[in-house]
Amino acid sequence: MQSRNYSIIDILYEWVLKEQLKKLPESRDPRIIYVTDLVGCSHKYHLRKKYPELTLSFEPAAILGDIVHTGLGRLLAEKGFEVELEVSREIVVDGEQYLLKGRVDAFKRDEGLVVEVKTSRTAINLPRDHHVKQLRIYLQLLGAEKGLLIYITLDKLVEYPIEYQPVDIEEEVKAIINDTVHPRYQWECKYCVYRKLCSYYEEYRENYKEGER
């Protein structure tokens, strides 16, 4: 029998790149805003529209996160959750129409429960503000009341119940379109792929630790 030379890295590379390339056309579309845009730096959204290819990456930490999401998703699907559920809403800002889009990790429809999964290197400052806000936006988009935010880190496995609290989604979209929050958190610049092109980037933010992602 002839044996084939398998490379698992090649398989991962193909999977990761295919997923990222699929998103590129949408990344260029100025009418599409992601829920994750609403919890981050507004200027990143504008730079992504111009230079979407700069977001392509093949980083072990991100791949680990994708694998965890896929594995946990399968487990939750067996327990009756809808996984990787697409959510969207039309939003009008200054007479222009936008489409707000997001993907919920897991949703138990009969219980109105939304689950958001996060992987992280460290377990400092949990739960993080931007993750709580992201989950609250999903709750609002789905008309659900209860959220569960789970962190899978190298030394901690913790989950936080998050209750529904209204978010002014229109105002948040407006802030992104008008580019008024750059950055939203000081630590964002340190991890930003656009920092070398960004007029708002400031070097001191490189060392900013508080509230790190």
Question: Which residues are near ligand SF4 by CB under 6 A?
Answer: 41, 43-44, 47, 182-183, 188-189, 192, 194-195, 198, 200-201
**For residues 5 and 199, which CB has a smaller minimum distance to ligand SF4 in the complex?**
199
Read off the tokens for 153. Answer: 């880190």
Place of tokens 């529904």: 164
Read off the tokens for 9. Answer: 């890295």
Best CA proximity match to 52, nearest among 20, 21, 24:
24
Closest distance to ligand SF4 from the beta carbon of 177 (Å): 15
Best CA proximity match to 161, nearest among 170, 150, 176, 175:
150
**For residues 44 and 128, which CB has a smaller minimum distance to ligand SF4 in the complex?**
44
**For residues 58 and 191, which CB has a smaller minimum distance to ligand SF4 in the complex?**
191
Closest distance to ligand SF4 from the beta carbon of 164 (Å): 29
Q: How far is CA 34 from CA 12, 79, 121, in A?
A: 25, 28, 24
**For residues 41 and 114, which CB has a smaller minimum distance to ligand SF4 in the complex?**
41
**For residues 138 and 201, which CB has a smaller minimum distance to ligand SF4 in the complex?**
201
Closest distance to ligand SF4 from the beta carbon of 130 (Å): 12
Separation of alpha carbons 203 and 188, rounded Å: 12
Closest distance to ligand SF4 from the beta carbon of 122 (Å): 19
Closest distance to ligand SF4 from the beta carbon of 197 (Å): 8
Q: Is 90 exposed, middle or buried (0-12, 13-18, 19+ CB in 10 A)?
A: exposed
